[in-house]
Amino acid sequence: MSALTWPLPPGTNAEEAQMAQNAPTPREPHPPRLLRHEDLPRVALAEMNAVHEDEIDMLNELLVLLPQTGTYAEARHALDHRLQALLEHLRTHFSSEEELMRRYGFPVYPIHKGEHDRVRAELEQIIADWQTDGDLSALRHYLYEVFPAWMFQHIASMDRVTALFLAEATQSRG
């Protein structure tokens, strides 16, 4: 193990510092393409649209932050909080949506919930892997490519149908 030649950030242990020193510096060839609210598919419930916009904002914060992080220690410190915030927001979003689907008897609730469960577990695993090995490339790929593609497709299909059903159900039960 080589001697550490730079001061450790507060709260960084020697093992993390050594991994940071040995890890390649992540590079981005260009800034990320940020997601725009106006590009989101719209659904029949304004509340759902607002939640989706919040998630886009949180994801954009991560997309901007990723190319700015140089070493494992810097990236871990900067990203962990925002990743956990996104995960918690998704948990709350999915839970609230699932409660409405159950309350109003949405016929394909198990399928929609199953997709929520799959993506929630996938994001939890991506975060756990990042926290274990510090590999920014897998995290970048997921946040730049996989999650946004899933989100737009999910909103345009499952959420659109769910929102129409819930809008009609809430109006008829007024």
The pLDDT tens digits for 85-115 are 999 999 999 999 999 999 999 999 999 999 9
Q: What percent of the chain has pLDDT over 70?
A: 76
Using the 8-state DSSP alphabet, how is residue 6 labeled?
S
Between CA 77 and CA 80 the distance in angstroms is 6
Alpha helices in the chain (DSSP H): 14-22, 46-65, 72-103, 109-133, 136-141, 147-154, 160-173
Listed residue (111, 86, 103, 121) closest to 166, CA to CA: 103
* The predicted structure's pLDDT at residue 15: 53
Q: What percent of the chain has pLDDT over 90?
A: 61
Instruction: Name the packing angle between helices 72-103 and 109-133 (round to 10°).
Output: 170
pLDDT band (50, 70, 90) for residue 1: very low
* The predicted structure's pLDDT at residue 119: 98
* Confidence check: pLDDT of 21 > 60: no
* Confidence check: pLDDT of 70 > 70: no
Between CA 51 and CA 118 the distance in angstroms is 19
Q: What's the average model confidence in pLDDT over 8-16?
A: 49
* Confidence check: pLDDT of 5 > 80: no
Q: What's the average model confidence in pLDDT over 12-37?
A: 57
* Confidence check: pLDDT of 4 > 50: no
CATH number of 43-173: 1.20.120.50
Give the domain ranges of the chain.
43-173
pLDDT band (50, 70, 90) for residue 71: low
More confident residue, 160 or 16: 160
- Structure tokens belonging to residue 157: 């299909």
Between CA 66 and CA 68 the distance in angstroms is 5
Output the pTM of the full model.
Answer: 0.77
* The predicted structure's pLDDT at residue 31: 53
* The predicted structure's pLDDT at residue 12: 47
* The predicted structure's pLDDT at residue 77: 76
